Amino acid sequence: MTQEVVITEFDYDIEPLDLYDDMSNKLFCTFATEETLDDVLQEIQERYKIIYNKIFVLYSKSQDEYICTYNVDFGNIGTFIDNTILVHRKKDSNTLYTINALNTLIKELNGGELDTSYRINWSDYRNCVLLTKGPELKKVNTKLFKIIELEN
């Protein structure tokens, strides 16, 4: 008896990763549902060399989805797992964001003008992921679900 695998598409602009960027140590973010979480975590561990030996699993109640974040040594990557994006992190506020989301946020806060020197009050975006859906900024509030400690 074979088990049917359901591919879930998440409602964000999943931007293709550029293989030519400097990606020696990058923070990846992979989305999963409750049903796919165990399989996604297994695939992450099999496919990538995880730096710092930790996978942080966040949960978004409003979206009912899990967000797995992990640092990857880019030197051993051939292909990317579905529903994976490259994100950046503001440590003090525990905010994850894409560059497109950051640019959209700056425009929203700065009267429609993109000014890369604009100062963002990151505490307003504590414990969330900033993403885009088309031209719209999406703020996904998260809570830590679990930390997976990997063996060396």
Domain assignment present for 1: no
Inside any domain, residue 9: no
Question: Does residue 1 surpass a pLDDT of 70?
Answer: no
Residue 141 has pLDDT above 60, yes or no: yes
Amino acid at 130: L
pLDDT at 2: 46
Q: Is residue 4 part of a domain?
A: no
Residue 145 has pLDDT above 70, yes or no: yes
Q: Regarding predicted confidence, which is higher, 122 or 24?
A: 122
Please tell me the distance from the alpha carbon of residue 17 to that of residue 26, in angstroms, as a whole number.
11
Q: What are phi and psi of 102, to 5 degrees?
A: -60, -45
Return the pLDDT at 8: 56
Cα–Cα distance for residue pair 135/112, rounded to 1 Å: 12
- For residue 13, being part of any structural domain is answered with no
Query: Is the confidence at residue 111, as pLDDT, over 90?
Result: yes
Q: What is the mean pLDDT of residues 114-121?
A: 95
User: 19 in a domain, yes or no?
Assistant: no
Is 108 part of any domain?
yes
Q: Which domain holds residue 73?
A: 26-149
Count structural domains, the chain: 1
> What whole-number distance in Å separates Cα of residue 120 and Cα of residue 18?
26
Name the band, by pLDDT with cuts 50, 70 and 90, for residue 85: very high
Mean model confidence pLDDT for the chain? 87
**pLDDT score recorded for residue 12:** 64
Q: Is residue 119 part of a domain?
A: yes
Distance between CA atoms of residues 147 and 55, nearest Å? 6
- The pLDDT assigned to 79 comes to 79
**Structural domain contains residue 7:** no
